[in-house]
Amino acid sequence: MVCSCAQSDPADTASGTPPNIVLFIADDWSYPHAGAYGNTTLRTPAFDALAAGGMLFTNAYCAAPSCAPSRASILTGRYPHQNGVAGNLWSEFPRELVTYTEELERAGYLVGHDQKGWAPGDWRTPGREHNPAGKRYANIREMLEGKEAGQPFCFWFGSSDPHRVYEPNLGVKTGLKPDSVKVPPFLPDLPCVRNDILDYFAEVERFDRHVGLVVELLRERGELENTLIVVTSDNGMPFPRAKANLYDAGSRMPFVVHWPARVPAGTRRDSYVSLAALAPTFLDAAGLAIPREMTHRSLLPQLLDEGYPGFADVIIERERHAQVRADSGSYAMRGLRNDSFLYVRNYYPDRWPAGDPEVVRSVGAYGDVDNSIGKVLILRGVHPPGDETDYYSLAFGKRPAEELYDLSTDPQQLRNVATLPGYADQLGILRERLNGRLTETGDPRTETPQTPFWDTARYPPTYGPATFDADAYLRDYRYGVLRGPTSFTYAGCLE
């Protein structure tokens, strides 16, 4: 399906000035880890203030739970399966892909990015002059120093937080409390897992502080009123059964939109949003035509009108994440999420979903899961006393061709009901709805499900260790030396 729709009513303010556009994108941050969503363990005052002054979304999903494919879809307004090689991690960004950044630049915007843009992958070989997120600047202040009077700007703030590796015990050292952590039920509730979650939270807090500094700069410069701000993440938290998975922990994103000139303050939306809708939304807000290549529809009508109906479901997918199989092959998945169910299709049920048990090239065994203390303990079979949950199967075990989760009884998506007779009708409905959407958008797997998916890979020579020593990891974690020496060790973590 191709979107040929024109833009909505021009989104200028009373002065007739098109909005500035600022995207804050974290690296590996999951819903609902922000104060605005009710999390009381970590502190996200900047995100919470933007939510109070703007529109908070509760059902925003990345297009793919893998950073480069997700970021490509944000830039292009297309599903990963429509982006060619850019639908894989560590690949290329084809020159022919149309991005909102280029369209805004062509319309006179000053466009730039800071830190992580579209990555990881190769944008130079296809002939691009700079990263698809825009020209690289040291920070937004440097970019704005070169702005002409009255010129609108578009800035991509791409943090590396809360991506691993973490400084062990950072969360505790910054005042976060282990007893306040709600450990997801797909992870063992052990002291060191709580500690690891606190380290993740500490990096979320650092990202939030950076958001606050940029927002304050915009306020000081008198730019905040007419700046369309979006704060979100590229994919979910780097823990087993989260990042690189279609379950909510890997695909459901924090998402807030703040634009004082146009978006009603203190509003909340529960309708479904794909982050791939950002590209047409930004162009629509700027009063520009949406290119036919962008297949997602603009969110602008939803942002400007609280009563405008939203979408009732969302498509999520993934192809190759890291290089974790001997043949560099993908673990292809497609999914459909609505209020009642998550339906997941696995195209290669014979493959290990998190990567081969043997070390290939990425971060060790089951390399689609970032190394962490939780990963090591699950692989070692360490459980809390009396806990019989099969954490290994949840995170690393092979999966059937179809998964179905009843969110009314299983919101954490732990019990696959696809084979139960009572769900046969609903399974068929979701299967056909997903088939229709994928066919409309030209997914090659609808024609040839086992097709290689543009397997071009651009791994750097130094990517990934040759081996992974779990014993050394446990020892280093115990003494807090995973990232440099520290005198602080979290008491009781591995006793």
Arithmetic mean of pLDDT, 239-257: 98
- The Cα 73–Cα 273 span in angstroms is 13
Residues 190 and 331 placed together within one structural domain of the fold? no
Give the CA diameter of the chain: 66
Say which amino acid occupies 488: F
> pTM for this one?
0.93
Identify the pLDDT of residue 480. Answer: 58
**End-of-domain residue from the set 311, 339, 359:** 311
Contact yes or no for 344/335 (Cβ under 8 A): yes
Domain coverage including residue 389: 318-446
Q: In this structure, what CATH number is given to the domain that contains residue 207?
A: 3.40.720.10
What is the number of H-type helices and E-type strands within the chain?
13, 14
Which residue carries 């002065």 as its tokens? 15
* Residue 6 counted as domain residue: no
Say whether both 41 and 162 belong to one domain: yes
Among the three residues 284, 311, 338, which one is the final residue of a domain in this structure?
Answer: 311
Mark whether 303 and 330 lie in a shared domain. no
At 401, the amino acid letter reads: A
Q: What is the mean pLDDT of the chain?
A: 90
| Nearest-angstrom CA–CA distance, 226 and 6 | 22
My answer on whether 148 and 63 are in the same domain is yes
Question: Considering the domain boundaries, does residue 52 fall inside one?
Answer: yes
End residue of a domain, out of 311, 340, 372: 311
**Rounded Cα gap, residues 404 and 418, in angstroms:** 5
Do the domain assignments include residue 359? yes
- 45-72 pLDDT, tens per residue? 999 999 999 999 999 999 999 999 999 9
Average pLDDT rounded to a whole number, residues 110-135: 95
Distance CA(357)–CA(364), nearest Å, equals 8
Do 282 and 371 belong together in one domain?
no
180 in any annotated domain = yes
464 within a domain of the structure (yes/no): no
- Residues 143, 254, single domain; the answer is yes
Q: What are phi and psi of 364, to 5 degrees?
A: 120, -165
Mark whether 278 and 340 lie in a shared domain. Answer: no
Does one domain contain both 284 and 325?
Answer: no
Return d(Cα 369, Cα 425) in angstroms, integer.
34
Give the strands of the sheet with 341-346, arranged side by side: 313-318, 333-338, 341-346, 402-406
- Yes or no: say if 494 and 192 are a contact pair by the CB < 8 Å rule: yes
Helix axes 191-220, 45-52, angle to 10 degrees: 60
Same domain, yes or no: 73 and 203: yes
- The Cα 181–Cα 174 span in angstroms is 15
d(CA 471, CA 457): 31
**pLDDT over 50 (residue 14):** no
Tell me if residue 314 falls in helix, strand or coil: strand
Closest CA to 479 of 192, 163, 177: 192
- The burial class, CB within 10 Å (0-12 / 13-18 / 19+), for 14 is exposed
Burial of 464 (0-12, 13-18, 19+ CB in 10 A): middle
In a domain, residue 410? The reply is: yes
Q: Which two tokens stand for residue 38?
A: 């009710």
Do 237 and 33 form a contact (C-beta atoms < 8 A)? yes
Q: At a CB cut-off of 8 Å and minimum separation 6, what does 130 contact? A: 123, 136
264 three-class SS: coil
Tokens found for residue 219: 């306020």
Angle 20-21-25 from CA coordinates, rounded to 5°: 155
Residue 43 has pLDDT above 50, yes or no: yes
Q: Do residues 90 and 190 both lie within one domain?
A: yes
d(Cα 449, Cα 181) in Å, to the nearest integer? 41
pLDDT at 484: 45
| Residue listed under structure tokens 């703040």 | 258
Q: How many CB atoms are located within 10 Å of the residue 117 CB?
A: 22
Q: Is residue 456 part of a domain?
A: no
Task: Indicate the pLDDT class of residue 222, thresholds 50, 70 and 90.
Answer: very high
pLDDT of 126 > 60? The answer is: yes
How far is it, in rounded angstroms, from Cα 388 to Cα 373? 19
What pLDDT shows up at residue 472?
Answer: 72
Does residue 161 share a domain with residue 143?
yes
Beta-bridge mates of residue 342 = 337, 405
Instruction: Phi first, then psi: give them for residue 162, nearest 5 degrees.
Output: -100, 50
Instruction: Tell me how far apart the alpha carbons of residues 70 and 318 are, in angstroms, rounded to a whole number.
Output: 9
Tell me if 435 is assigned to some domain: yes
pLDDT of residue 13: 40
| Residue 161 DSSP symbol | T
Q: For 178-197, what is the mean pLDDT?
A: 94
Same structural domain, 27 and 173: yes
Pick the residue with more confidence: 286 or 487? Answer: 286
The string of pLDDT tens digits covering residues 312-368 is 999 999 999 988 887 778 899 999 999 999 999 999 999 999 999 887 766 778 999
Q: Are 455 and 330 in contact (CB under 8 A)?
A: yes
Residue 199: predicted pLDDT: 94
User: Could you give the number of structural domains in the chain?
Assistant: 2
